């Protein structure tokens, strides 16, 4: 979908040619003298409509605007969250009908964060997955003009949001694809395609190279599958060569049966989403390529299937990780940490300024935080703070969880340096403690997105989270946004990532 930002008032928006006009009205609405504002005033004062978030008034062939469809959407207090809700309600109402061009305007000037929220809401409510359907009736909406009173004031945030939408939708696409349409090879191919289209560097390692690196832990997970593993290394080079990169590591289990410690049948299909961490890395890189911040970012994606088989890894097997530490695999369903630990060891070579891993890691995190906030664990307070802020700003929130050493007690093993599971208690923290053993000399954070990466039930599907959070974090790392470097105007010279 195409977004465009224009300077428009409500009355000038009413003159735009389009299929539908959405007017977002806050609770502090005061009528202007144009006919559209008068109509809204009348609906409010008569009590026939109220401006609470999500409340909608729909009109057809109103003589107050050029568009055949008019949607008046309440946004209450006008916070970004309320604005998103308002736009989502209006967009949902036009999702199934022949609306190709929409104009969105506001009775009160939205904040920069409000504009971001509106763009995200519009995309969210109109997204359609079609890849594996024979009749591909995709999104009807093609173009959305966002009208604000003062375009320059919110342009940066608007562009950020439009890029975030691209990234979120790429993450949704790969998350939603069934596992037979998103094998490790296909997922690695998606990374290569993305790199080709955007001029980024991408390397894909296969079983031989991974064996040579000594990633015995990663290899043990892949062993039971006939699909060969892949290890993807993506580079976004927007900053100076000598600038230490941020490394993102995404868990890419394209299907998690549990392996020999097999999962129950009910809802096992949802384990196609076990590569949503990897998909979020792809989505974030797609958005970076569009926004071109002056930073360096490396993306690492260990990807394979977790299957039971005659040659699969067995409970009690001891494997040797790239770090040299031996691991007793007590439960083959705790496979995410087994592939991430080797990626964490690999990350050390980039001398990163921060490493963030993103993983649908534990059911325990779903129990702890539900579908609202991702679990966040960090070895550095500064990194934790930056991620919390980024999540709040992007409406993609996370919550910091503890990392006390006492949580690692249960991981002691008689037969290896460490076991891959402990008891059920505090499972999300125990998993993070396991990962922490493999963290080198860099600030590290771990995002457990098991509860936030996809929705179950009738609205089953990938959410594209936490692309919004990651992008907000990375954009704030752009030295161009620090006062000291402001003078050199980083966006004047587009930093072309080297091929």
| Residues marked as catalytic | 263, 337
Alpha-carbon distance 475 to 494, whole Å?
Answer: 15
CB under 8 Å to 143, separation ≥6 — which residues? 1, 2, 3, 4, 100, 101, 102
Q: Select the residue whose beta carbon is closest to Mn ion and give its number.
A: 333
Smallest gap from residue 52 Cβ to Zn ion (A): 40
Contact 235, 298 (CB under 8 A): yes
DSSP E strands, 90-191: 101-106, 143-148
Residue 305 binding Mn ion, by CB under 5 A: no
Judged by CB under 6 A, the number of residues near ligand BES is 16
CA 51 centroid distance within chain = 30
| Contact residue for ligand BES among 421, 432, 445, 447 (CB under 6 A) | 421
**Closest by CA position to 96, among listed 74, 70, 65, 127:** 127
Residue 427 binding Zn ion, by CB under 5 A: no
**Closest by CA position to 117, among listed 157, 166, 168, 74:** 157
**Closest by CA position to 353, among listed 377, 375, 383:** 383
331 binds, among Mn ion, ligand BES, Zn ion, none (CB under 5 to 8 A by kind): ligand BES
- Residue list 214-273, contact with Zn ion (CB under 5 A): 253, 256
Alpha-carbon distance 193 to 376, whole Å?
Answer: 30
421 binds, among Zn ion, Mn ion, ligand BES, none (CB under 5 to 8 A by kind): ligand BES
Residue 274 binding Zn ion, by CB under 5 A: yes
Q: Quick one: 111 or 331, whose CB is closer to ligand BES?
A: 331
Question: Cα separations (Å) of 229 from 249, 320, 344, 457?
Answer: 16, 17, 17, 30
Judged by CB under 5 A, the number of residues near Mn ion is 3
Q: Quick one: 124 or 274, whose CB is closer to Zn ion?
A: 274
Binding mask 265-304 for ligand BES (x = CB under 6 A): ---------x------------------------------
Q: Among the candidate windows 45-53, 121-129, 237-245, 357-365, which touches ligand BES by CB under 6 A?
A: 357-365
Q: Quick one: 260 or 475, whose CB is closer to ligand BES?
A: 260
Phi, psi of 277 (to 5 degrees): -65, -45
Cis peptide before 251 (omega within 30 of 0): no
Contact 178, 461 (CB under 8 A): no
Alpha-carbon distance 170 to 1, whole Å?
Answer: 12
Please calculate the CA angle 492-468-442 and round it to the nearest 5 degrees.
85
Q: Select the residue whose beta carbon is closest to ligand BES and give its number.
A: 363
| Contact residue for ligand BES among 169, 227, 305, 333 (CB under 6 A) | 333
Q: Quick one: 46 or 458, whose CB is closer to ligand BES?
A: 458
- Residue list 252-291, contact with Mn ion (CB under 5 A): 256
CB under 8 Å to 231, separation ≥6 — which residues? 204, 205, 206, 209, 210, 215, 218, 300, 301, 302, 303, 343, 346
Q: Among the candidate windows 11-19, 326-334, 337-345, 447-455, which touches Mn ion by CB under 5 A?
A: 326-334
Residue tagged 């919004």 (tokens): 468
Smallest gap from residue 277 Cβ to Mn ion (A): 13
Smallest gap from residue 155 Cβ to Zn ion (A): 41
Tell me the H-state helices in 292-394: 336-347, 363-369, 381-393
Binding mask 439-478 for ligand BES (x = CB under 6 A): -----------x----------------------------
DSSP, res 228: P
Residue 362 binding ligand BES, by CB under 6 A: yes
| Contact residue for Mn ion among 333, 342, 448, 478 (CB under 5 A) | 333
Residue 336 binding Zn ion, by CB under 5 A: yes
Which residues of the shown chain bind Zn ion in the complex (CB under 5 A)?
A: 253, 256, 274, 336
Binding interface with ligand BES (CB under 6 A): 256, 274, 331, 333-336, 360-364, 366, 421, 427, 450
Binding site for Mn ion (CB under 5 A): 256, 333, 335
């Amino acid at each position: 979908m195409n977004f465009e930002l224009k300077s428009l008032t409500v009355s000038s928006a009413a003159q735009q040619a389009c299929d539908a006009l959405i007017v977002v009205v806050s609770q502090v609405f005061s009528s202007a003298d144009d006919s559209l504002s008068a109509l809204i005033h009348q609906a409010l004062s008569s009590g026939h409509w109220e401006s609470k978030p999500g409340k909608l008034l729909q009109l057809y062939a109103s003589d107050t605007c050029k568009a055949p469809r008019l949607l008046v959407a309440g946004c209450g207090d006008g916070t970004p969250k309320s604005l998103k809700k308002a736009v989502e309600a209006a967009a949902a109402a036009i999702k199934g009908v022949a609306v190709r061009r929409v104009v969105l305007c506001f009775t009160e000037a939205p904040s920069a964060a409000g504009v971001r929220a509106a763009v995200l809401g519009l995309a969210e409510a109109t997204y359609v997955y079609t890849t594996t359907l024979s009749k591909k009736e995709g999104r009807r909406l093609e173009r959305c003009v966002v009208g604000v009173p003062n375009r320059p004031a919110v342009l940066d945030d608007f562009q950020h949001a439009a890029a975030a939408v691209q990234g979120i939708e790429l993450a949704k696409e790969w998350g939603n694809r069934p596992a037979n349409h998103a094998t490790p090879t296909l997922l690695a191919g998606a990374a290569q395609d993305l790199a080709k289209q955007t001029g980024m560097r991408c390397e894909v390692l296969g079983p031989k190279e991974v064996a040579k690196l000594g990633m015995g832990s990663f290899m043990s997970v892949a062993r039971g599958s006939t699909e060969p593993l892949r290890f993807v290394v993506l580079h976004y080079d927007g900053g100076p060569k000598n600038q230490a990169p941020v490394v993102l590591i995404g868990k890419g289990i394209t299907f998690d049966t549990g392996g020999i410690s097999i999962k129950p049948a009910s809802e096992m299909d949802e384990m196609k989403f076990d590569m949503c961490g990897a998909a979020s890395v792809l989505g974030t890189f797609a958005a970076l390529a569009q926004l071109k911040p002056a930073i360096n970012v490396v993306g690492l994606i260990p990807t394979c299937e977790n299957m039971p088989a005659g040659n699969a890894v067995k409970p009690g097997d001891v494997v040797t990780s790239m770090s040299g530490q031996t691991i007793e695999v007590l439960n083959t369903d705790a496979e995410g940490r087994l592939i991430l630990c080797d990626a964490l060891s690999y990350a050390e070579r980039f001398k990163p300024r921060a490493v963030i891993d993103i993983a649908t890691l534990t059911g325990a995190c779903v129990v702890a935080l539900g579908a609202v906030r991702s679990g966040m664990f960090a070895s550095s307070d500064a990194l934790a703070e930056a991620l919390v802020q980024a999540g709040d700003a992007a409406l993609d929130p996370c919550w910091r969880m503890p990392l006390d050493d006492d949580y690692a007690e249960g991981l002691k093993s008689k037969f290896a340096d460490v076991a891959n599971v402990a008891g059920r208690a505090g499972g999300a923290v125990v998993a993070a403690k396991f990962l922490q053993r493999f963290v080198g000399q860099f600030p590290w954070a771990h995002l457990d997105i098991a509860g936030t990466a996809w929705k179950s039930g009738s609205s089953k599907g990938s959410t594209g989270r936490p692309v919004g959070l990651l992008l907000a974090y990375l954009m704030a790392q752009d030295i161009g946004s620090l006062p000291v470097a402001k003078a050199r105007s980083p966006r004047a010279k587009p930093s072309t990532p080297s091929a």
